[in-house]
Structure 1
Amino acid sequence: MLIDTHTHLDTEQFDEDRESVIQRALEQGVERMINVGFNRETIQSTIQLIDTYDFIYGVIGWHPVDAVFMKEGDLEWIEELTRHPKVVALGEMGLDYHWDTSPKDVQQQVFREQIRLAKRLKLPIVIHNRDAHHDVVQILKEERASEIGGVMHCYSGSWETAKQCLDMNFYISFGGPITFKNAKQPKEVLQKVPMDRLLVETDCPYLAPHPNRGKRNETGFVKLVALAAAELRGVSFEEIVLQTGNNAKKLFGIN
């Protein structure tokens, strides 16, 4: 079962042909998709999406870039929405020190609050980390996130950082960048991550894999990511599909 563990099918880039994009993914063998709502608007559209399609599940939370826009009551609203049986995790949450939109202290506070909520709800978390490896790991440790675990989404850090995340009960997910010629570090880390902690994703419409780099990404392109992962690991495509699919089902509690 090929599972795209991180999609944004509700975004405006798919407004003209969303149904066709989803159909193409099914034709490529993608049997489950996990859509991520990360702010007020996309949380709502993610819920609409998972209500429409049996095979799409939802993750909801607050992105660090949008942390400054979180208002009083938003966490309670998210908690209420987690009662939906197809909401399988909280996120994407974390830190982003690349885009200068939310102050670091605000990002860190929103991150901590969401970890605490996830622990109370006993849900895994989906981590966004851009140029903030040390602080992300430190906060995960301080908040004892290992009690719930989760996934390091679109992993771009070092093997040393990955080992710390693995020790905290996290899976490591890879997307389109492992198909890029110059992406040496993600390829090296993918080769070292234990097979039972490996996930694949697209993060569509962003980060399209080769040979579609620079174009709109689609969830069906997760097949290209899985093919690249199989080649890098020296195993069959079928083994990667089976293992990453089982890993995703275990992490997100998908039947």
Structure 2
Amino acid sequence: MIIDSHAHLDLLEDPQAALDRARQAKVIHVVAIGVDLETSVKAAEFAEKEKDVSFCPGIHPHDAAGAPPDFPKQLLELAQNKGAVGWGECGLDYFYNKSPKEIQRRVFSEQIEAAKKAGLPLVIHDREAHEEILALLAEQDAGQVGGVIHCFSGDEIIAQKALDLGFHLGITGTITFPKSEGLRRAVAITPLDRLLVETDCPFLAPVPKRGKPNEPSYLPYTVAALARVLEKDPEKLALATSQNTNRLFGLNLDLEETKCTA
């Protein structure tokens, strides 16, 4: 059993068919992610319709410049819906800089406070902004709610700093890429109970599906690659990461909660 901790279902060509394929691949739950007000509503609708889908509302750094002044209030109201389990995707992206940096910082900071008010863990986007994100999380005591550095892309030092702040690392299909040695080294120093797996679909399809639109049914390839790095049994690793996601997001799924040593 596997949980996809981060999926953009609204971007899939046929979300329902993708969810059906996911179930056949033993993906037992999917967390749908919002990146702005519109997609956050769509994520909430998926969670309302599908019993094995939860959602997180948020404003992606790419969309920070377009966020209305009252966006925290609107998202806080949405976060009261059944199925809301986290806050995000939010954070900083200094690679594309689709929104000015000062606006990204303000919108991210406001979302940290909103997540604390809602009592929801953060789902954090971090692209070329490791140190600034870690500093903001520390300054605003984001460890109160914790969360996950989604699609983790840092090295061992950044990984340890994130772990010290109480955060989890989200591992995507990039773990299967030949040039991802830095990620594999970071994963190797991460405690098993702080790792989540995710697709970030339709992006970052794992080898051997690389180049195709990603979907939750491809998650077993990521789990297998992660298991190789950690020298663990893939089925037990899948259970361990599912337990981690279950606890972090308070999914209350009926999983085997005995300690997994894989």
Q: Which TM-score bucket, shorter chain as reference?
A: over 0.9
What is the CA-CA distance between 1:190 and the residue it aligns to? 1.2
Aligned partner of 1:23 in structure 2 is 20
Aligned partner of 2:179 in structure 1 is 182
Q: Does 1:89 align with 2:89?
A: no
Partners of 1:243 and 1:54 in 2: how far apart? 22
Cα deviation digits, residues 95-135 of structure 1 (max 9, x gap): 00111321111000101100011111211100000011111
Partners of 1:9 and 1:122 in 2: how far apart? 24
The code of the aligned residue for 1:3 comes to: I
Cα deviation digits, residues 36-72 of structure 1 (max 9, x gap): 0111221121111111100000011100111000112
Aligned partner of 1:138 in structure 2 is 135
Q: For the Cα contact (< 8 Å) 2:48–2:82, is it kept in 1? A: no
SS of 2:90's equivalent in the other structure is strand
Equivalent positions of 1:35-50 (< 5 A) are 35-50=32-47
SS of 1:199's equivalent in the other structure is strand
SS of 1:76's equivalent in the other structure is helix
Q: For the Cα contact (< 8 Å) 2:37–2:57, is it kept in 1? A: no
| Correspondent of 1:168 among 146, 150, 165 | 165
Question: RMSD over aligned Cα, in angstroms?
Answer: 0.9
Aligned partner of 2:3 in structure 1 is 3
SS of 2:98's equivalent in the other structure is coil
Partners of 2:196 and 2:10 in 1: how far apart? 21
Aligned partner of 1:106 in structure 2 is 103
Aligned partner of 2:156 in structure 1 is 159
SS of 1:208's equivalent in the other structure is coil
| Correspondent of 2:126 among 110, 125, 129 | 129
Aligned partner of 2:257 in structure 1 is none
The code of the aligned residue for 2:5 comes to: T
TM-score (norm 1): 0.97
Indicate the percent of aligned positions where both proteins have the same amino acid.
Answer: 38
Partners of 1:86 and 1:19 in 2: how far apart? 18
Aligned partner of 1:191 in structure 2 is 188
Cα deviation digits, residues 145-184 of structure 1 (max 9, x gap): 1111000101000111111111111011100000011111
Question: Which stretches in structure 1 are left out of the alignment for 5+ residues?
Answer: none
Aligned partner of 1:115 in structure 2 is 112
Q: Does 1:248 align with 2:245?
A: yes
Q: For the Cα contact (< 8 Å) 2:175–2:225, is it kept in 1? A: yes
The code of the aligned residue for 1:169 comes to: G
Structure 1 runs (4+) greater than 6 angstroms displaced: none
Partners of 1:234 and 1:166 in 2: how far apart? 21
Question: Which stretches in structure 2 are left out of the alignment for 5+ residues?
Answer: 253-262
Tell me the number of residue pairs that the alignment of Structure 1 and Structure 2 aligns.
252
SS of 1:214's equivalent in the other structure is coil
Partners of 2:119 and 2:49 in 1: how far apart? 26
The code of the aligned residue for 1:206 comes to: F
Partners of 2:85 and 2:31 in 1: how far apart? 9
SS of 1:128's equivalent in the other structure is strand
